[in-house]
Amino acid sequence: MTPHRSARAGQLGQATVEFVVAALVMVPLFIVIPLLGKYLDLFQASEAASRYVAFEGANRNSANSWKSDAELSMEVRRRFFSASGAPVKTGDAAGDFIAHRNPVWTDHAGRPLLAKFEDDVTVKTTVAGKNAIAATNVFAPKFGLSDDNWYTGEVSIKIADIPGFKPLDTIGLTTTRRTVLLADAWTARSNAQIRQRIEDGGLAVYPIGQAATLVNLIGTIPPLVKDPALVVGDHDWDVVPCDRLKEGC
């Protein structure tokens, strides 16, 4: 073998070794980068789900019908962690089969990152009182206000390990996202409910209500009032007063 051929053969062997070494570094890197993106996507879904849980509690504050953790867990699994085309239906549960899974959330071998919805996606809620007015116990009972207006929604997910891929094969990755929402203690379903709260507050809250009959009688005497009649509690929040209108009454 000539020196030229020997040097060329050595270079070919060196290139093979360099390729193998580079592959040992680059192949895991090509696997990890997409996985990190999927992890971040799952974390973002957890954040959105925790906001849903907290706002669901605030929305139901006035109705006193806070959903149970089991019911919210079922809704969150189907609406935030299953297929993106999942319909919004009451009582719809996510199943551990392909049709209900998000096709993106899999590892490099196609295994789901959420192995079992019931075990890997959980919801925890707490309701506490942070209402300064209700805490005085003076106006709260009279207005029918609730001091349960501090809502916390927690969504926890457990991401499956990646078999045969260190260190992700035993990492036991979990994350919890929490949203805390302070609701208005005056939250009501309608203007009528607010009016009822005030009128039912008794003498200390709505003293003129005790003299409603007399005031209403006076209000029917045209010379004493500008309007044709004055009736206690007869108001419409959507009507602009006459003196605020450009053309007047």
pLDDT at 51: 94
Per-residue pLDDT of the chain (249 residues; tens, 9 = 90+): 555 555 555 555 666 766 666 655 566 666 678 888 999 999 999 999 999 999 887 776 555 567 888 999 999 999 999 998 888 888 889 999 999 999 999 998 899 999 999 999 999 998 887 766 555 566 666 776 767 778 899 999 999 998 887 888 888 999 999 999 887 666 666 777 777 777 777 666 777 766 777 766 665 655 555 555 556 666 666 777 777 777 766
Structure tokens that stand for 6 in this block: 């020997």
In terms of Cα–Cα distance, which of 183, 205, 195 is closest to 138? 205
Q: Any idea how long the chain is? A: 249
Task: Note the pLDDT of residue 226.
Answer: 54
231: left (phi over 0), alpha (psi -120 to 50) or beta: beta
Name 169's Cβ contacts closer than 8 Å, sequence gap at least 6.
161, 162, 163
Q: Return the pLDDT at 80.
A: 94
Distances (CA, A) of 67 to 72, 87, 91, 236: 7, 20, 12, 34
Report the pLDDT value the prediction gives residue 166, as an integer from 0 to 100: 81
Q: What is the largest CA-CA distance in the chain?
A: 128
Give the DSSP per-residue string, 134-180. HHTTSSHHHHT--S--EEEEEEEEEPPP-TTSTTTTS---EEEEEEE
Domain boundaries, the chain: 9-182, 191-244
Q: 141: which 2 tokens?
A: 């009972």
Report pLDDT for 178: 95
